[in-house]
């Protein structure tokens, strides 16, 4: 108390506060939230930056990052990241404005992040070392669903030109078959090789003391 009074109330209070920050409780509690926020910020910025780069169509990493975010932080965060990135991409994509397809892209990518959180409950928030094949199959399936949704959105776009919906849907599925096939294979390989080490590394980063 003598040292605090000699320093003055303001300086003493500051010293007391800094000493408090150095105790075991703060070392264990505060950095965890800081790391979570930092990791989420980095993932969002990285995902946004890659998505807006000029690249081969459907060679994307948003599906993987949304899924991994859902696994580590929960369905809400995974879905929110996917929705945010696709919303921005819909207006700033190097391929142009998404138009009426945008809501379908948002729903599709948000669903991938959502499934990531649900899948984490099955795997107890981690991914086994032998889950590469399982991740590849899941990635291919989720990508297939995403592409079906976006093709439906393309069909809706075609109907605005006066084409009947049934014909528009067939046209959209046929024209989107090859890009969808590439997309499914791309994400199958990406999920199968990267998702397990990525998710486990993210968990270790948040658990590090």
Give domain status of residue 161, yes or no: yes
Q: What is the DSSP string of 94-136?
A: TT---GGGHHHHHHHHHHHHHHHHHHHHHTTTS--TT-HHHHH
pLDDT, one tens digit per residue, over 164-205 is: 999 999 999 999 999 999 999 999 999 999 998 999 899 888
Give domain status of residue 73, yes or no: yes
Give domain status of residue 1, yes or no: no
Cβ burial of 163 (10 Å; 0-12, 13-18, 19+) is middle
pLDDT, one tens digit per residue, over 108-150 is: 999 999 999 999 988 765 666 568 899 999 999 999 999 999 9
Per-residue pLDDT, 139: 96
**Total number of domains in the chain:** 1
Give domain status of residue 199, yes or no: yes
Q: How confident is the model at residue 26 (pLDDT cuts 50, 70, 90)?
A: very low
Give domain status of residue 192, yes or no: yes
| Alpha-carbon torsion (86, 91, 95, 100), positive or negative | positive
pLDDT, one tens digit per residue, over 55-88 is: 998 999 999 999 999 999 999 999 999 999 999 9
Give domain status of residue 16, yes or no: no
CA dihedral 155→158→159→161, nearest 10 degrees, is 180
* CATH for 171: 1.10.1760.20
Per-residue pLDDT, 35: 84
Give domain status of residue 2, yes or no: no
Residues in the chain: 209
- The answer to whether residue 14 scores a pLDDT higher than 50 is no
- The answer to whether residue 51 scores a pLDDT higher than 90 is yes
pLDDT, one tens digit per residue, over 83-106 is: 999 999 999 998 889 999 999 999
Model-level pTM?
A: 0.82
CB 123 within 8 A of CB 107: no
Give domain status of residue 10, yes or no: no
Domain residues for the domain of 124 are: 26-207
């Amino acid at each position: 108390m003598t040292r605090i009074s000699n320093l003055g109330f303001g300086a003493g209070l500051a010293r007391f506060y800094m000493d408090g920050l150095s105790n075991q409780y703060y070392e264990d509690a505060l950095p965890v939230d800081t790391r979570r926020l930092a990791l989420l910020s980095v993932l969002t910025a990285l995902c946004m930056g890659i998505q807006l780069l000029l690249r081969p169509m459907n060679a994307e990493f948003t599906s993987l990052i949304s899924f991994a975010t859902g696994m580590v932080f929960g369905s809400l965060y995974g879905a929110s990241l996917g929705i945010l990135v696709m919303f921005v991409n819909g207006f700033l994509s190097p391929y142009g404005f998404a138009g009426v397809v945008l809501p379908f892209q948002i729903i599709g990518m948000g669903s991938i992040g959502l499934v990531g959180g649900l899948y984490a409950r099955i795997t107890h928030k981690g991914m086994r070392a032998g889950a590469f094949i399982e991740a590849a199959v899941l990635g291919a399936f989720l990508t297939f669903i995403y592409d079906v949704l976006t093709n439906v959105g393309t069909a809706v776009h075609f109907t605005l030109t006066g084409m009947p919906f049934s014909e528009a849907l067939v046209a959209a599925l046929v024209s989107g078959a090859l890009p969808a096939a590439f997309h499914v294979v791309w994400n199958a390989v990406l999920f199968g090789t990267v998702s397990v080490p990525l998710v486990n590394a993210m968990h270790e980063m948040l658990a590090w003391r």
